[in-house]
Amino acid sequence: MFEGFTKETGEFLWELRFNNERPWFLAHKEQYERCLNRPFRALAQESWRLLSERYPERDFRVHVSRIYRDARRLFGRGPYKDHLWFSLYTSDKNEGPSFWFEIGAAGYTYGLGFWSMRPALMERFRRAVDANPARFERLARQAEALPGLRLLGEEYRRPKGDRGELLNRWYNRKYLTMEFSGDFGGDLFSPALAQILCGAYGSLMPMHDFLAEVWEAAREEERE
């Protein structure tokens, strides 16, 4: 059962950032398990359980990141990550729309996005918006009305089209991410964090379902 992170969790992550080497980590392995790994995995499992109970027809799965970097991709950054994340997804290989939560030394983020957003997928997204702009406008207004939500994603230098002020914010991006964020503390220390996350994910579920439709349509086109 998730009981909340602690001040020690943040202190450990800061220390790891500045001591990212195997001897230091091994000397603090018990601390890592106690204040970060075990509560993080408990949060991931509880969030998955709550979301699955609320939306049983969607067959959500959970993926939890490991703290160990891929040895082929160290690039001088040390063998350990100074952040952990988990994702909740329904698509194959976790490449479709996913809910996520991430914790780092300075704070945390969570929201909805794609791990793999190819240009062809964004083209399919724009075609879906064009096919029913009124539907997507409703979804965009619902999402933008959520307190604290930020829309992220690099914008094209040359817009793909002019669909009005509201839709342009979504339409002319290379990828889409909807993110909530907070400083280290507050809800991170609350045993109710999984319920808070599940509530936010539920608020974004209509947008998730739209993006899932786009994802499936793009995959079908690739198969053809």
Tell me which of 31 and 118 has the higher pLDDT: 31
| Residue 202: count of CB within 10 angstroms of its CB | 15
User: Once rounded to an integer, what is the mean pLDDT over residues 63-87?
Assistant: 82
pLDDT in tens, 145-174: 999 999 999 999 999 999 999 999 999 999
Predicted confidence at residue 120, as pLDDT, reads 86
Q: How many residues in the chain?
A: 224
* Residue that has been written with the tokens 């067959």 in this structure: 59
Q: How many Å apart are CA 159 and CA 172, to the nearest integer? A: 5
**Whole-number mean pLDDT of the chain?**
92
Residue 151, beta-bridge partner list? 178
Q: Give residue 115's pLDDT.
A: 74
Identify the CA nearest to 5 among candidates 191, 183, 182.
191
Question: 142-156 in b/e burial notation, b at 16+ Cβ within 10 A?
Answer: ebeeeeebeeebeee
Report the pLDDT value the prediction gives residue 224, as an integer from 0 to 100. Answer: 66
Model confidence over 9-50: pLDDT tens digits?
A: 999 999 999 999 999 999 999 999 999 999 999 999 999 999
pLDDT at 180: 97
pLDDT, residue 73, reads 58
